[in-house]
């Protein structure tokens, strides 16, 4: 007599496309979250002029488009920041 195969009722089947879509949505949310926080800090804590904030937003969007088109990579950006400006950000292990 064989074991009956019970299906976990909490299991949600996902295709590779589902996983990729969830990843893309998460990345988009993360980028949007980050840039909104930066813009908030510039306005609220540094009283940055509207023109400067809008210019930063527009340049950010241009950079995101360049990354999407493959003209520049995130690795390139990290290496440039570290190599030329001695700047880095590491969020590993930090929850919020």
- What does pLDDT average to over the chain? 91
Q: Residue 39: CB partners within 8 Å, gap ≥ 6?
A: 53, 56, 57
* Total domain count, the chain: 1
pTM: 0.72
Q: Which domain holds residue 43?
A: 29-85
The encoded tokens of residue 38 equal 């930066």
Is 90 among the domain residues? no
Is 2 among the domain residues? no
Is 14 among the domain residues? no
Is 4 among the domain residues? no
Evaluate if residue 72 carries a pLDDT over 90: yes
Is 68 among the domain residues? yes
Evaluate if residue 15 carries a pLDDT over 70: yes
Is 76 among the domain residues? yes
């Amino acid at each position: 007599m064989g074991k009956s195969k019970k299906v976990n009722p909490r299991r949600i089947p996902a295709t590779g496309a589902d996983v990729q879509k969830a990843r893309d949505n998460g990345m988009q949310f993360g980028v949007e979250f980050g840039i909104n926080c930066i813009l908030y800090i510039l306005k609220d804590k540094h009283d940055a002029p509207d023109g400067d904030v809008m210019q930063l937003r527009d340049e950010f969007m241009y950079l995101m488009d360049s990354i999407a088109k493959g003209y520049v990579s995130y690795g390139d950006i990290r290496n440039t920041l570290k190599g030329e400006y001695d700047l880095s950000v590491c969020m590993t292990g930090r929850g919020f």
